[in-house]
Amino acid sequence: MTDSTGSASGRAPAVALTGITKRFPGVVANSDVHLTVRSGEVHALCGENGAGKSTLMKILYGMQAPDEGTIEVNGSPVRFKSPAEAIKAGIGMVHQHFMLADNLTVLENVVLGAEDLHGIGKRARARVRELAGATGLDVDPDTLVERLGVADRQRVEILKVLYRGARIVILDEPTAVLVPQEVAELFDTLRAMRADGYTFLFISHKLDEVRAIADTVTVIRRGTTVGTVDPSTVSSRQLAEMMVGSQLPSPETRTSTVTDREVLRVENLTLRTPDGRALLDSLDLVVRAGEVLGVAGVEGNGQTELVETIMGMRRAATGRILLGGKDVTRSGTLARREAGIGYIPEDRTRHGLLLTQPLWANRILGHQTRRPAARGALLDVAGARLDTERIVEEFDVRTPGIDVAAASLSGGNQQKLVVGRELSGNPVLLIASHPTRGVDVGAQAAIWDHIRAARADGLAVLLVSADLDELIGLSDSIKVMLRGRFVADADPATVTPEDLGSAMTGAGEVDAEGHLVVDRTEEGDKG
Partner 1 sequence: MTAKLRSSLLAPALAIAFSALLCAIALLISGANPASALGVMIGQVGEGQVAVDIVNSTAIYMLAALAAAIGFQMNLLNIGVEGQYRIGALVAAIVGSALVLPPVLHWLVILLVAAVAGATWALLPAILKVTRGVHEVLSTIMMNAIAFGLAAYLIRRDQFGILIGNNVSTEPIPESGQVPGIDLGARGTVFGLVFLAVVAAAVYGVVMKRTRFGFELRASGESPTAAAAGGVNAKRMIVVSLLVSGAVGGLVGMPEILGRDHAYTLNFASGYGFAGLGIALLGRNHPVGIAFGSLLWAFLEKAKVALDNVGVPREIATIMQGAIVISVVVAYEIVKRMDLAAEQRRVGRALGTAEPAEADAGGAR
Positions in the binding site for partner 1 (CB under 8 A): 23-31, 50, 52, 222-224, 311, 313, 332-338, 343, 345, 350-357, 361, 364-366, 368-369, 374, 377-379, 381, 398-400, 404-405, 407-412, 440-443
Q: How far is CA 508 from CA 193, 237, 244, 482, 501, in A?
A: 31, 19, 26, 11, 8
Where is 131: in which H helix or E strand? Answer: helix 122-135
Query: Minimum distance between the CB of residue 64 and partner 1, rounded to whole angstroms?
Result: 15
Cβ at position 439, least distance to partner 1 in Å: 9
Give the nearer residue to partner 1 in terms of CB position, either 420 or 508. 420
For the bound state, the minimum distance from the C-beta of residue 285 to partner 1, rounded and expressed in Å, comes to: 21
CA neighbor of 466 nearest in space, from 122, 191, 206: 206
Min dist. Cβ of residue 70 to partner 1 (A): 19
Please state, as a whole number, how many other Cβ atoms lie within 10 Å of the Cβ of residue 382.
10
Residue 64 or 105: the one with the smaller Cβ distance to partner 1 is 64
Nearer to partner 1, 22 or 127 (CB): 22
- Beta carbon of residue 362, minimum distance to partner 1 (angstroms, whole number): 9
CB neighbours of 123 closer than 8 A, spacing ≥ 6? Answer: none
Minimum distance between the CB of residue 412 and partner 1, rounded to whole angstroms? 7
Output 50 or 294, the one with its CB closest to partner 1.
50
Q: Nearest CA to 452 among 468, 463, 464?
A: 463
Q: Which is nearer to partner 1, 227 or 332 (CB)?
A: 332
Question: Nearer Cβ to partner 1, position 169 or 432?
Answer: 432
The number of residues in the chain equals 527
Q: 463 has which bridge partners?
A: 294, 432
HSE-CB of 232 using CA atoms within 13 angstroms: 8
| CA–CA distances in Å: residue 214 to residues 38, 54, 452, 480 | 12, 18, 37, 27
Work out how close the CB of 405 gets to partner 1 at its nearest, in angstroms, rounded to a whole number: 6
Nearer to partner 1, 33 or 472 (CB): 33
Cβ proximity of 172 and 57 under 8 Å: yes
Residue 519 — φ and ψ, nearest 5°?
A: -110, 110
